[in-house]
């Protein structure tokens, strides 16, 4: 098995690589691609690179000339690379739009020409349809894959990322059909865990505030609900979907990956207080950012039907592992 993972040094890329190495054949080869704008060359990543099955390419996927370095003949390609993070959506929407869309177009053209027997996985996002609830107030909960993909306000920079995932799904669907290659779209729903970055993600932000014992404890959008899927469960689902022959046909499959427990941000904070053994004296409830989605709960029945997957890490266990990691790896930029 010859595998390529773009964004290989990032949060999902690192754990996906680790998972593939743990469950894969000794003869597998895994090529990681990253430009290290967000991915990290930390100790954990360095340990993965010591495995003889892994190689690293430091390239910019918005540079067409870089694709000559990728080679060919891959069995599975996971395209994870993207500019992500809520803070970045608001501060650099023009870069999010350019990088995410251009890199995908170049990836698809490279893939169809150089990997005729391969299978392509595109990581979309629940952000692709998140605007439907605000726009129409009719988004079904739990949310299945076949719902309207909606950008509810193109002037709000938050939707820069969502728009690249929406149009990205269209590119993958119609490229796969036109050029007759196998492909898969997965929509992650709030993956979390160690090494997920700093700033712009609710669980790392909560961990940092707890470590600093900030009191009153600020919670933005306290009534907004989410489900959180631990990263090890998430990447296992991705591998199972890519390996399944059930996802080889046309039209290509779009599959939600998420967990079952819906809770609001206040409840999430309370779970972290219990896990860490620290409780603030009071909460500082604030409005969520403009455009923040009020409710998210994925229907993962399609994932389960295709693969038999079910989560193995409880929310409490996952939060404890995540908090412990962030305590051992504080943000050195602060």
Alpha helices (runs of H) in 146-295, residue ranges in sequence order: 159-179, 202-211, 231-243, 265-276
Confidence grade of residue 46 (pLDDT, cut at 50, 70, 90): very high
Pull the structure tokens for residue 89.
């959506």
pLDDT at 186 over 60: yes
* Length of the chain in terms of residues written: 334
Q: Give first-to-last CA distance, the chain, whole Å.
A: 42
Number of structural domains (the chain) is 1
Q: Are 297 and 141 in contact (CB under 8 A)?
A: yes
In a domain, 265, yes or no: no
What is the spatial distance between Cα 110 and Cα 194, in angstroms, rounded to a whole number? Answer: 32
In a domain, 41, yes or no: yes
pLDDT tens digits, one per residue of 263-300: 999 999 999 999 999 999 999 999 987 767 788 899 99
Confidence grade of residue 25 (pLDDT, cut at 50, 70, 90): confident
Find the CATH number of the domain harbouring 68: 3.40.50.720
What pLDDT score does 179 carry? Answer: 97
Residues 119-147: what's their mean pLDDT?
A: 87
In a domain, 107, yes or no: yes
pLDDT at 136 over 80: no
Alpha helices (runs of H) in the chain, residue ranges in sequence order: 11-23, 43-49, 86-91, 93-114, 127-136, 159-179, 202-211, 231-243, 265-276, 301-307, 315-328
In a domain, 90, yes or no: yes
Residues in Cβ contact with 271 at an 8 Å cutoff, skipping those fewer than 6 apart: 263, 315, 316, 319
Could you identify the residue written with the tokens 């790896």? 329
In a domain, 181, yes or no: yes
Which residue range(s) make up the domain with 235? 2-191+231-258+297-312
Query: Rg of the chain over CA atoms, in angstroms?
Result: 19
In a domain, 235, yes or no: yes
In a domain, 25, yes or no: yes
What pLDDT score does 291 carry? Answer: 66
pLDDT tens digits, one per residue of 100-119: 999 999 999 999 999 999 99
Could you identify the residue written with the tokens 């009153």? 216
In a domain, 264, yes or no: no
pTM confidence score: 0.95
What pLDDT score does 333 carry? Answer: 67
What pLDDT score does 153 carry? Answer: 87
Question: With pLDDT > 70 as the criterion, what percentage of the chain qualifies?
Answer: 98
């Amino acid at each position: 098995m010859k595998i390529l993972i773009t964004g290989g040094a990032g949060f999902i890329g690192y754990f996906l690589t680790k998972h593939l190495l743990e469950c894969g054949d000794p003869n597998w080869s895994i090529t990681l691609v990253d430009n290290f704008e967000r991915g990290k060359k930390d100790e954990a990543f360095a340990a993965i690179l010591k495995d003889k099955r892994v190689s690293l390419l430091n390239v910019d996927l918005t540079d067409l000339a870089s694709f000559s370095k990728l080679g060919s003949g891959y069995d599975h390609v996971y395209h994870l690379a993207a500019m992500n993070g809520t803070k970045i959506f608001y501060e650099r929407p023009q870069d999010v739009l350019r990088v995410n869309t251009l890199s995908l177009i170049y990836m698809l053209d490279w893939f169809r020409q150089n990997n005729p027997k391969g299978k392509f996985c595109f990581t979309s996002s629940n952000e692709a349809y998140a605007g439907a609830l605000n726009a129409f107030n009719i988004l079904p909960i739990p949310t299945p894959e076949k719902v309207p993909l909606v950008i509810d306000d193109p002037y709000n920079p938050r939707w820069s990322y969502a728009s690249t995932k929406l149009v990205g799904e269209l590119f993958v669907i119609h490229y796969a059909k036109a050029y007759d290659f196998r492909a898969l779209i997965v929509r992650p729903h709030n993956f979390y865990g160690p090494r997920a970055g700093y700033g712009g993600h609710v669980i790392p932000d909560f961990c940092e505030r707890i470590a600093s014992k900030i009191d009153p404890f600020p919670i933005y959008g306290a009534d907004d609900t989410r489900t959180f899927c631990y990263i090890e469960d998430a990447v296992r689902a991705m591998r199972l979907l890519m390996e399944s022959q059930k996802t080889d046909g046309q039209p290509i499959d779009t599959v939600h990956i998420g967990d079952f427990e819906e809770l609001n941000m206040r409840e999430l904070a309370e779970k972290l207080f219990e896990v860490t053994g620290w409780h603030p004296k009071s909460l500082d409830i604030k409005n969520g950012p403009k455009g923040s989605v009020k409710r998210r709960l994925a229907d993962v029945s399609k994932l389960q039907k295709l693969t038999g997957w079910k989560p193995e890490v409880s929310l409490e266990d996952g939060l404890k592992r995540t908090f412990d990691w962030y305590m051992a790896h504080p943000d050195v930029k602060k």
